[in-house]
């Protein structure tokens, strides 16, 4: 099985899009930023689908795919807070969840010599809600009169989903089955 297959190439494209996305945002090219983010979202959808349907799952892809998601999402949340498009407290929740989960993974690896992470359904919903929030915000910025701004409750819902997902991962990580006998 080749490492640089189509799914992994799509994931790498998503990672390469991040600096272009940041440049577009910081220089006010919001339509380009929206287009880049949509392309990144599509590559996220396609890489997983192609990998599953063609049996092209690789350890590299299993590592890079969630990393690519985190890089583009965290970058988006930080810049959007800087631009005052989303509340800072939401950025703190998103970053804190991810840092806590990474720390937990590292601790499990140190203690048990392994740290297999089972992707949870709520984790997928969290990522999807964050992607949707970013796309909708960019769409609203670009097409303001035609697309209303998100109500405050939408940010609260994404924050709650993110928090509950983090708690679920922590609970799963602390369960005794991680102990190798």
The span from the CA of 134 to the CA of 161, in Å, is: 15
The span from the CA of 33 to the CA of 138, in Å, is: 8
Q: What is the DSSP letter of 148?
A: P
Q: Fold for domain 6-178?
A: 1.20.120
Alpha helix ranges (H) inside the chain: 6-26, 30-54, 59-82, 88-112, 121-142, 152-174
- C-beta separation of 179 from 114 below 8 A: no
Q: Which of 7-11, 73-77, 114-118, 124-128 has the lowest mean pLDDT?
A: 114-118
The span from the CA of 163 to the CA of 125, in Å, is: 12
- pLDDT tens digits for range 69-120: 899 999 999 999 999 999 999 999 999 999 998 898 888 778 877 767 778 8
Confidence of residue 181 (pLDDT cuts 50, 70, 90): very low
Q: Which of 28-37, 65-74, 81-90, 170-179 has the lowest mean pLDDT?
A: 170-179
Alpha-carbon dihedral angle through residues 159, 132, 102, 84, given to the nearest 10 degrees: -60
- C-beta separation of 80 from 149 below 8 A: no
């Amino acid at each position: 099985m080749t490492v640089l297959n189509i799914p992994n190439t799509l994931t790498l494209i998503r990672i390469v899009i991040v600096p272009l996305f940041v440049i577009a945002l910081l220089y006010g090219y919001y339509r380009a930023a929206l287009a880049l983010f949509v392309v990144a979202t599509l590559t996220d959808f396609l890489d997983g689908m192609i990998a599953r349907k063609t049996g092209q799952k690789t350890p590299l892809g299993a590592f890079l795919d969630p990393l690519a998601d985190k890089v583009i999402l965290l970058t988006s949340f930080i810049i959007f807070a800087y631009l005052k498009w989303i509340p800072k407290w939401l950025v703190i929740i998103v970053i804190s969840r991810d840092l806590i989960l990474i720390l937990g993974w590292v601790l499990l690896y140190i203690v048990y010599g392994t740290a297999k992470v089972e992707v949870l359904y709520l984790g997928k919903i969290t990522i999807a809600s964050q992607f949707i929030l970013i796309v909708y915000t960019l769409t609203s910025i670009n097409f303001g009169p035609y697309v209303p701004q998100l109500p405050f409750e939408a940010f609260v819902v994404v924050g709650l989903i993110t928090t509950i997902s983090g708690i679920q991962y922590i609970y799963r990580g602390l369960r005794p089955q991680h102990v190798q006998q």
